[in-house]
Amino acid sequence: MNRNYLFILLFVLFTACSKDVLDRTIFIPDEDDSNLPAYTEWGYNTFGAEYDRDYFLVSQKIVPCKIVYKSDSLQFLLSGIHIASNYYAPNYKTEMSLFFVFPVEKMRDYRDLLQLHKKEIDLATDCIVKMTVNKQETILTISKGKLHFKRAQLLSVDDKENRVILSGTFDLIFLENGWPVSISDGRFDLGITEKVFYAF
């Protein structure tokens, strides 16, 4: 185990087996690209991806994920910021969200998310993907992409079930004004509780 991961884990355990600490975002930079969070499976409430030459990243000020089960479909929402870097506006930030909507078996509460363990979603055929930038929503025309839930695990705190940790990867290519745009090298590590899971 990487020493940084061990230090963060011990920090979380000793500074607070408080549930509030488990809801915070812990950003550990990736070794190859420090702008992205490292891929982890500890429930650090983080995500990130390259967006062409920019980045789509978690923000400390925005709840990173919400999940809604409705009408036999799961709506998986990642919310953060698009950090655009160009000559005129280096590090310009805008709020951005990605919605992945795909069919799943019946879910009643967050524990049912365990059925996502090792599940792969073909974004071009089995999913509706929407993007919201500054509160304007667009349904994306996906030419290629995959959402992979590598691991779903139940975390207990003080012998009580507390959250499901969802960890995985995503990448997609979509058309914008007839031109391909790539969101690549995406990764997420999220602690899902009853506060951010809704079933209708």
Q: What is the per-residue pLDDT across 16-32, written as a single tens digit (0 to 9) for each?
A: 455 567 899 999 999 99
Residues 149-166: what's their mean pLDDT? Answer: 95
pLDDT recorded at residue 14: 47
**Residues composing the chain:** 200
CA 55 – CA 48 distance, rounded (Å): 7
User: Where residue 86 falls among pLDDT bands split at 50, 70, 90?
Assistant: low
Inform me whether the pLDDT recorded for 37 exceeds 60: yes
Q: Give the integer Cα–Cα distance in Å for 192 and 65.
A: 8
| 132 located within any domain | yes
Would the pLDDT of 139 be above 60? Answer: yes
Domain that holds residue 156: 19-199
Name which of 6-10, 86-90, 173-177 the model is least confident about: 6-10
Residue 48 pLDDT greater than 50, yes or no: yes
- Mention every residue, 6+ apart, whose C-beta is less than 8 A from residue 162: 19, 22, 155, 156, 193
The mean per-residue pLDDT over the stretch 67-71 comes to 96
**pLDDT band at residue 10 using 50, 70 and 90 as cut-offs:** very low
pLDDT band, residue 88 (cuts 50/70/90): low
Is the residue at 164 inside a domain?
yes
Average pLDDT rounded to a whole number, residues 97-105: 97
Collapsing DSSP to helix, strand or coil, 20 comes out as helix
The answer to whether residue 97 is domain-embedded is yes
Asked if residue 78 is part of any domain, the answer here is: yes
Does residue 8 sit within a domain? no
Residues 6-15 have a mean pLDDT of 48
Structure tokens at 161: 């079930």
Q: Is residue 4 part of a domain?
A: no
Q: What is the pLDDT of residue 89?
A: 58
The pLDDT mean for the chain works out to: 90
**pLDDT over threshold 80, residue 12:** no
For residue 127, being part of any structural domain is answered with yes
Residue 39 reports pLDDT greater than 80? yes
Q: Is the pLDDT of residue 185 over 90?
A: yes
Based on the structure, what is the number of domains in the chain?
A: 1
Percent of the chain with pLDDT over 70: 86
68 CB burial (10 A radius; 0-12, 13-18, 19+): middle
78 Cβ neighbours under 8 A, 6+ residues apart: 47, 56, 64, 65, 97, 98, 188
In a domain, residue 173? The reply is yes
